[in-house]
Structures are given as structure tokens and as C-alpha cells.
A = this chain, B = another copy of it.
Amino acid sequence: MSADNELGVGMVGYAFMGAAHSQAWRTAPRFFGLALAPRMRAVAGRDEAAVRAAADRLGWDEAVVGWQSLLERDDIDLVDVCTPGDTHAEIAVAALEAGKHVLCEKPLANSVAEAEAMVAAAESAAAQGVRAMVGFTYRRVPAIALARRLVEQGRIGQVRHVRAQYLQDWIADPQAPMSWRLDKQKAGSGALGDIGAHVVDLAQYITGETLTGVTGLLETFVHERPEASSSAGLSGVADTGRTGTVTVDDAAVFLGKLSGGGLATFEATRFAWGRKNAIRLEINGSAGSLAFDFEDMNLLHFYDAAEDAATAGFRRIVVTEPEHPYGGAWWPPGHGLGYEHAFTHQVVDLVGDLAAGRQPTPSFADGLGVQRVLDAVERSAAAGGGWVSLA
């Protein structure tokens, strides 16, 4: 354990997610009072030069080769797993067994079996006060946290409908290159696991309910893509003359029933030209409605059916007031936040839970719950679209 009130952090992986997590660890204590002071001890990777450059750029004290070494260090209390999904189970289980808290990126794992093993490890660790959390970061977008709060307060009543979409267009162009995200070995699934996982989690989180069954379809529109010689972020340069085979879904659509009796529709696609990162959620309840679109991430729309008919209407709430979740810590009202602020909020909440000895949410069990839904969608699609119950 780190001395005093420090929280020594070691991160594995340093690409897109690593950059977002680093910014969060660096920024959280500047805007929020934290009970533990995060210390960015080391980042781990396989390529020594690359990890060294990442440590410098992202602000970690050290670069180490191989994540295993992080587990042996006393000055590291938490392992932050930012690698592709095929490695989550191995790293997270080992870290928990080594007594390190774990923050693991989503999806929790590439299979239900792996996720179950992770949950088992998390439960054992919890008995020792060692905590595990999965990074469904969008829960910490203030507008989404406000949506959850309004549902909890009964402001929309009983949930009738969830309409959840995650629309992107980054591979709508057939010439967009191959990437590990299109390789089933690495990524587990395509749009379903990468972005569909988010909207499944958000639907369950905001409603406070679970899906009891699904029926769905998966589709791959473009089967062969040019191989990229290098990659940066989600894009890359395709100049090798070779092609690679896409082994994951390009798009997923599915229906579900909620435990409270409502109906849910889901869509996840990377083929929606013009939609860059459109996470859209609409929830209709017996007493009101909510609507959100990440393309306007600082807004939440709320309809209160109790209002007078002459002045009722969806309220466009600019979620930047001190009264809002995470409000007041940043800027004055109307000075909106961006994508990575949700990662900072995740650090704030996680550190608060660790300091208080509480289980952070979403837990690995929550992550497993999402994984089971994704698995059910895959089974439904494989069987031609029949109903799969999630008992």
C-alpha cells in the first residue's frame, strides 16, 4: 500500500483509452476534493520504446514492459486496464489476486465465461477490501447521471419504452482500413460489443431494470478491408496493398423486454453516415419522458406529463448547473464539458468509494450482466432472430 493517503496507480495499455484515463487521473484532483491522492506511478506495455514515449506524453512516472511487474510493486494500489478485451480477464484476475484494486475498461471480457471468472475474482477480492470496477464511463456524463436521478425520483414513473442507439460512421467507407476492433480474436465482437455494450449498460443503469430477454440481428456489410500499416486512434493509413477479413459484426439491432414490463429497442452501428458518436437514449415512462444525444452531451430533455397541457413540452436542460451531478466543480453554468470529463468523474467516484471502503459501480457483476445480454443477442442472431430469454 502506498503511504499516507496516496493511491498509487499503474495503467496497462496507452492507446485511446489510456490517453483518456491518464487525463482523468491527472485532472480529477484539480477540480474535486479527493480523499486519496492519485499518483500516476507507471504505465505498462509490450514495446519498450512505445511505452516509454507514452509515459512521457501521458504523464506517468515510469514506463514498464509487461503488466505483471505492476502487480509486484508496493507503491501501486490500483491497476487500470486499458487494453483490448481479449486480455482483460487475465490481467484483471491476476491484479485482484495480487491485492490490487482494478478499474477495467469495457466490455468486461470477450466472453461470458471470462466475465464470470472475473466476477468470481472480484467477489473473492472484495472480501479482502480489494475493489473492482468496470469502465462504463458514459454513466458519468452529467446529463446521463441526471437522467438516472430523475428516474430514481419517480419523475417519469414506470418505464414503458427505451429507445437506445449508438451510431457512428467511422467504417461506413469500405476503404476504411482493418483494425484490431474488426478482428473477432481481439475484439470479441464488433459494433455489438464495442458500442452496443454502452447502450445496454445505459439502458439498464438509467431505468434501474434489467433485460429479461432479447431478439436480434447482426450484419457485416463489408467483409474485406485494406490492411493498415499503422494506426492512430480509431483511424489508420491503408497503404499495404493487402486486405484483411472483418470477422465481427458491422451493425447490431435488437429488441428486449425490461424487468418492469417495458419494451426496449437497441441499435449499434458504425455505418450511419454523418453520425459521429451519436449515443441516443429515449425513455418514456407513465409520468414523463427523457431524451439524450451524446452529440449534444451537455443537454438532457425532460417531459413532465404532470405539467399543464398548454405549457407542457420537452425541457431542454443545460446540465451545467451546481444542482446537477458533478456540477459546480467545473465552470459556471453553460460552459459545457467534453468527452473526457466523464473519465474524470469516474476517477472521482472510484477514489471516493475506495476511500470509503464501498463497492464502486458499475461492478464486474454489472459488466457480466451486460456481457450476458450481448451473448444472448449473438445467440439470437446466430439462430436467425429468435427470442432468447435472460432468466
Contact = CB atoms under 8 A, between A and B. Distances in A.
Given A332-B16, A335-B277, A384-B387, A315 B323 contact: no
Contact of A338 (B173, B341, B384): B341
B295 A302 contact: no
A274 interface: yes
Nearest to A232: B328
A217 B309 CA distance: 31
A148 to B, nearest CB: 13
Copies in the complex: 4
Contacts of A22: 30
A386 interface: yes
Given A168-B334, A255-B217, A387-B384, A285 B273 contact: yes
A215 interface: yes
A385 interface: yes
A334 B278 contact: yes
A312 B315 contact: yes
A63 to B, nearest CB: 15
A146 B310 CA distance: 8
B217 A295 contact: no
Contacts of A303: 273-274
A161 B297 contact: no
Interface string A287-317: 1110000111110111111011111111111
A273 B263 contact: no
Given A23-B30, A160-B271, A385-B213, A333 B170 contact: yes
Nearest to A33: B57
B324 A317 contact: no
Nearest to A332: B234
Interface string A254-294: 11010001011101010111111110001011111100001
A6 interface: no
A263 B253 contact: yes
A76 to B, nearest CB: 21
A250 B323 CA distance: 25
A333 B257 contact: no
A332 B170 contact: yes
Nearest to A386: B386
